[in-house]
Structure 1
């Protein structure tokens, strides 16, 4: 059950309860029309039961819903990047290794033995420069809706998605944020469960001094 409350004229707080057996987490989505299009706000771990959506458009209808997502994660790999910020020289590089793609060759392939909810294997992380990592893995899943690349910064809490990829992808390059230079990474094929009820909120006038 999803509930939304207005904590200021342009700030919303979502809360929910209920179980999702076997789920890896929940997607929180919003729209400004009853039938969408829907935009993902966050991938919430199962223990999370609230979300704050701030600084909304004044005097507008907002609609919210939840969806559980399912799928087995690969074994994580730990990555430690060299020190240094994303330099202008690196920004000028073409980064042709970075776009998501499906590679079919020995060692980086889509497995012929595919089945639903199959765990990815052979996850590898290749450091391309001080702020770039190329990930490759073997895809065994069939019928997945998306692939998630997840990370957990060193010393952080739970894994969270940092990229959402199309089905069958098994190569992707990540340009890291500063807190992602020392982190654990894993990939997960996902399918989605039933949608929750839709919770509706109408914002008020923008408070003086905001915006």
Structure 2
């Protein structure tokens, strides 16, 4: 506890070949865990702020693994966020587009042939871009869309997609007008031990 309603987690990393870590929480030790954030592999702390007082929170950390495509750089045209409001965004729904090669390679065996390839982007409007790629993995638990906005040091996860997906549309944030993007076929690693804390009472007027 770093305050009555703020909890900081610390853990040891170092899992070989991990692409990053997932921080999850639940309000019961054996309840349904919710993903808080995907973190880069070198990060080993996380703060969960502004929590409900007098409530128990339980946490675990999981590594995730899998290969990422080559990144592509995108510069979107100028335009206000409102330019997307008349678009029905049907193009943005996650899809499995047929017609590609049979996805038969194992990311759990670190097969170089399981890496997603052919990542392409189509600019749909000033704030929207559709990505397509070729799925080669037979055993992924899903796909991650990651980006690195101009000036950022690391890629971060911006969308979690189901297995076999190879098309997805993104409505970008202002800092994503110019950014690098990639997709990752991934699977979850073994969860850590559980760690729990109960938040305190906020004093009157606090």
**Which TM-score applies when normalising by structure 2?**
0.94
Equivalenced residue count is 200
What displacement does 1:206 show? 2.2
8 Å CA contact 2:103, 2:138 repeated in 1: no
Asked if residue 130 in structure 1 is aligned to residue 126 in structure 2, the reply is: yes
Bigger share in strand:
1
Asked if residue 91 in structure 1 is aligned to residue 88 in structure 2, the reply is: no
Describe how 1:1-211 pairs up with structure 2 within 5 A.
6-87=1-82, 90-105=84-99, 109=100, 111-117=101-107, 118-209=114-205
| Structure 1 counterpart SS, 2:175 | helix
Q: Distance in 1 between matches of 2:119 and 2:25?
A: 33
Q: Distance in 2 between matches of 1:172 and 1:204?
A: 42
Q: Distance in 1 between matches of 2:189 and 2:95?
A: 26
| Structure 2 counterpart SS, 1:140 | coil
**Deviation per residue, 1:144-167 (Å, 9 max, x gap):** 111000000012111011000000
Closer, same or farther in 2 for the Cα pair 1:104/1:55, shift >3 Å? same
| Structure 2 counterpart SS, 1:179 | helix
**Which TM-score applies when normalising by structure 1?**
0.92
